[in-house]
Structure 1
């Protein structure tokens, strides 16, 4: 299956290759608006050779932002996002918008609006309780996802990625630990999956057939009592049967409970702690080692979990986690994954893919130190990358 760099279909799209730039929060949206720096971030990755780059994170509502500097989808952002998609298209790549609601991961103090959660939960970022939405309020969030997808289409995006991972709002409904509701959105797995399915259906109804519709789905939250692989496979089967998705990107970990399960490699506790505001910094000093656990890095570190989904699903799947060289890409293809997603390696070297195409023996310069993680507050970047390097 030596076809990583050949054109491939993703729903209504044809991508120039099977490599997708994974959604990586860019920290380049001052005033919740697209900036020239955001445009350049994605133009550079597109120039580096990916088939598609993903803009993260596009909140569907003001309260769905991770903090008040995050972008949220409204008519005012369309011209800036159109500038971004035009730049990406000129480099020969497609552009995807990751849409979602941060829910219990939102900083309610920063946003000035209550963070939402399926059940009573104390929001550690805003240092206040979350709001538990009723069914009518959930329908408003579903409608907001459809509206965000339509705005993404107006902005020139080729695809939208629905965020169903990392214990953002839809993901938190899937978690039996975070979702203790007793209505039609809680209890059984089918009920807990209802909200995610309604969101995907609304997005598909809004733009499906014209834009590719994908979802980022947690395989496991990485926490006792959270979503685990057997239930996540059943959720994926329900989404597949609903017919609203063109592909699923498999992820893992929780921004609330276990973020390092997604990243693997060194845990940058010291530098991460310095970026947090007081009083979160004090709490992190006490519990940072428990929150930022350390998982040894290896190539394709989510592959073993993802294989279980591949065995049960016919829907195209995107493998994320430790994809840094051609051998690993071929390994993913041999295991039946239609696409691979790259993140940190492209922060280090945006042109890595073009160099791999020229020399299949090329190895990434990323050392998996994860010092890029604390930079999300000041513009996500690899601290080891030369300041003046530019990809054309």
Structure 2
């Protein structure tokens, strides 16, 4: 059991976010997780030295676990043609990545999933998949309807990915059930118009996600921890919202396949800024986009990339409602910036917190909070790290960081 802060009432003791904790079969040195942020540092679907260094820095900076994003389970599921892909040739690099993180005393998780309608058909050289035929404004192409064979193949691919993650030293996998990637798009009544056993009622729309989590657990047993990242709200009219997210979370708990549930929001397909809150850097997004997408961002960016007010712990209000409905461990994401916010999450009944932008600005933030709990975050939530993810994810305000150089891609680990 992890040390806990004594309680002065009859309520349960509040966990100390900086003390060791247990996540399924894994021991973590604290309850702080580096959230998945697409790194854009893999090359030809392989680990690079730059990707290893990216995660080693967060491990050295004090997080309990860092999350590698986004690792596609099938070639057509990549949102970037260079994205990590679970295949045999990637294993040596994955092993070196996990060894580097373990060498700094942290655990490491792999986010696994299928991009579905968010995938890049032109870069992948194959059609994207969706629950129903779907036009993708970003790629100006249609995603084709997933067949039953596709569904079965992708479920098995998640299991194979999880097995490979365990074999290459990962301590956990995080199943991506959010942001209207494939499993999330099945959950969405706005995107899923099927009339078979995977469409219509919420239970049918949740079937694919549940089949994935069961297959993953069966593949890894108790070798590693299994988490899922679930949308509470797509941020679009007609999408999934809390009234449906709550029963989905309850079914996932009943299935008994998860060690923890991380909650998220927004649609990478339909409303990408809804998750992040803060400024929408339209000029920076336009600068990294190819034509005709660049022109579309310049003309219609304010409608597609909306700004939302930022506040610390901005997903807490909705996440609290799911927290009240289930008992499994939960991870609070969204506006986790400093120790008081982390303590608030613990007091609200969450067992872990996940940080992203604050750590991009300061990879050693957790170590400094350990030394001085009053340490503030320097992140200003400008969100310029988002368009930077097309050339190598980083905080653009930190001196010495730069896009991928001319020699990027020459350091693939094999």
Question: Quick one: distance in 1 between partners of 2:221 and 2:292?
Answer: 44
- Structure 2 counterpart SS, 1:37: helix
Q: Deviations over 1:106-131 (max 9, x none)?
A: 11011101100001111223322111
How do 1:180-199 and structure 2 match up within 5 A?
180-199=193-212
> Which residue is 2:169 aligned to?
156
- Structure 2 counterpart SS, 1:31: coil
1:69 aligns with 2:89: no
1:233 aligns with 2:246: yes
How do 1:118-157 and structure 2 match up within 5 A?
118-157=131-170
Question: Quick one: distance in 1 between partners of 2:208 and 2:371?
Answer: 45
List structure 1 segments (4+ residues) > 2 angstroms apart after TM superposition: 123-126
Gaps of 5+ in 1: none
> Which residue is 1:208 aligned to?
221
1:358 aligns with 2:371: yes
Worse-matched range after superposition: 207-216 or 283-292: 283-292
Question: Quick one: distance in 2 between partners of 1:124 and 1:208?
Answer: 40
1:221 aligns with 2:221: no
Question: Quick one: distance in 1 between partners of 2:69 and 2:15?
Answer: 30
> Which residue is 2:103 aligned to?
90
Taking only aligned residues, the RMSD between alpha carbons, in angstroms, comes to 1.0
Question: Quick one: distance in 1 between partners of 2:299 and 2:210?
Answer: 38
> Which residue is 1:78 aligned to?
91
Question: Quick one: distance in 2 between partners of 1:312 and 1:92?
Answer: 34
> Which residue is 2:21 aligned to?
8
Q: 1:60 aligns with which of 58, 68, 73?
A: 73
Q: Deviations over 1:351-378 (max 9, x none)?
A: 0000011001100111110010011111
> Which residue is 1:105 aligned to?
118
Question: Quick one: distance in 2 between partners of 1:285 and 1:385?
Answer: 26
Query: Per-residue deviation at 1:2?
Result: 5.1
> Which residue is 1:18 aligned to?
31
Q: 1:174 aligns with which of 177, 187, 190?
A: 187
Q: Deviations over 1:278-320 (max 9, x none)?
A: 1111222222111111111111011001000011010111000
Question: Quick one: distance in 2 between partners of 1:152 and 1:61?
Answer: 15
Are the counterparts in 2 of residues 162 and 213 from structure 1 also a CA contact under 8 Å? Answer: yes
- Structure 2 counterpart SS, 1:264: coil
Question: Quick one: distance in 1 between partners of 2:332 and 2:201?
Answer: 28
Scaled by the length of structure 1, the TM-score of the pair is 0.98
Scaled by the length of structure 2, the TM-score of the pair is 0.93
Q: 1:266 aligns with which of 265, 271, 279?
A: 279
Query: Per-residue deviation at 1:388?
Result: 6.9
- Structure 2 counterpart SS, 1:30: coil
Question: Quick one: distance in 2 between partners of 1:298 and 1:246?
Answer: 28
> Which residue is 1:36 aligned to?
49
State the aligned residue count. Answer: 389
Gaps of 5+ in 2: 1-13, 403-414
- Structure 2 counterpart SS, 1:364: coil
Q: Deviations over 1:39-98 (max 9, x none)?
A: 000000000000000000000011000021111110111111111100100111000000
Q: 1:381 aligns with which of 385, 394, 407?
A: 394
Question: Quick one: distance in 1 between partners of 2:247 and 2:401?
Answer: 47
Are the counterparts in 2 of residues 267 and 370 from structure 1 also a CA contact under 8 Å? Answer: yes
Question: Quick one: distance in 1 between partners of 2:132 and 2:92?
Answer: 37
Query: Per-residue deviation at 1:208?
Result: 2.9
Question: Quick one: distance in 2 between partners of 1:274 and 1:47?
Answer: 33
Q: 1:290 aligns with which of 303, 313, 332?
A: 303
- Structure 1 counterpart SS, 2:130: coil
Q: Deviations over 1:252-280 (max 9, x none)?
A: 00001111111111110111111111111
Question: Quick one: distance in 2 between partners of 1:283 and 1:267?
Answer: 15
Question: Quick one: distance in 2 between partners of 1:113 and 1:96?
Answer: 28
